[in-house]
Each structure stands twice: as structure tokens, then as C-alpha cells.
Amino acid sequence: MRKIILGILIISFITVVFLNFNQEKEIRVRVIPSSDNSYDLKVKEKAKDITICYLKEASSDSYDTYLKNIQLTLNAFELVLEKELKEDVTVELSNHTLYNKTYNNSAVKNTEQMTLYVVIGEGNGSNWWGTVYPEFLEVNGSDEIKYESLILSIFNKIKGDKND
């Protein structure tokens, strides 16, 4: 009996390790305006367009190369944004967890991933975000985003709620 339990534990451990090593890496982007007033939202749209062009130029089929391209040009990109937007801009590349979301029948996993932050002014407005690696998936500010909770989904299935 001990051998069976030990075997199950070893197989479980190997499975967890294997799944964690095979998680696909992503690069995400968030553009955050100073506020949600109409002027700042127009500035956010312009920043989004400039950021998409920048990221398409930095693009690579290799995660490491794409990341390196961004890191090497981060300061120059920040200067371009400040010049074009005529606003204070902070650009940062760091790990961030974006919780489970779905849009256009695509899902964003609840994992910590590299994220390019473009923060305009105070950065207190509603952000635009997207995934740019491995696929370039844009999310528009007007797209409806459905947040999903695994626990709530299980609860609704147990309860028999058909609206989940």
C-alpha cells in the first residue's frame, strides 16, 4: 500500500513539474491614461497606437529575443512617447498577474507574465491591455470582458444554475 501511495505522489510531482515547465510564456501590454476624462482617453488611444507600432517592430518569433528587443529600446520608446504625447510617460517592463479573462473566445490565463506598462501622467484612468506574444491579441477598451471564477463556476454547477 505504501508503494502505491509513494508511486502516486511521485507521478503527481512529476506531472506538476512538467506542466509548470511547459507553460507558454506571454508578453502583455497595458496602457494606462492619467484619468478617464475625454482628453486623457484620446491621449491613451494615441499612446496605444504608438505602442502597437513599437511592439510590432520589436516583435520576434523567439520570446527571449522579443523581450531583449523591448529591454534594449525601453528608454528610447519612453522618450518617443513623451515627445509625441506631450505628456509625462513612464514605461516599465515587469512581471504582473492578469487574472483569468476571456474575450473573443480567447482566454488569458491566471499566470504571472512579463508586462509592458505605459503609464501616462498620474495613471489613474482605465487601462487598455493586450497580449503581444506568442500571439498579438489586441483588446479594445470597448470590448466586453468576462471575468471567470473557477470556484463560482463550480458552485453554480453544483447549485444547478444555468447562467454560468
Q: How many Cα atoms occupy the beta-carbon half-sphere of 99 within 13 Å? A: 6
Domain boundaries, the chain: 24-159
60 versus 13: the higher-pLDDT residue is 60
- Of 3-7, 29-33, 65-69, 141-145, the least confident: 141-145
pLDDT tier for residue 143 given thresholds of 50, 70 and 90: very low
The whole-chain average pLDDT of the chain stands at 77
Q: What is the mean pLDDT of residues 28-46?
A: 94
Chain-centroid distance, C-alpha 32:
13
- Report pLDDT digits (tens) over 69-119: 999 999 999 999 999 999 999 999 998 776 655 555 555 566 778 899 999
pLDDT at residue 145 greater than cutoff 70: no
- Of 46-50, 83-87, 90-94, 159-163, the least confident: 159-163
- Of 1-10, 53-62, 111-120, the least confident: 1-10
For position 42, what pLDDT does the model report? 96
150 vs 154: CA distance, rounded Å: 6
For position 47, what pLDDT does the model report? 95
Q: 39-72 burial, b if ≥16 CB within 10 A, otherwise e?
A: ebbebbeebbebbbebbeebeeeeeeebbebbee
In this structure, what are the phi and psi dihedrals at residue 93, rounded to the nearest 5 degrees?
-120, 115
Chain-centroid distance, C-alpha 72:
20
For position 110, what pLDDT does the model report? 66
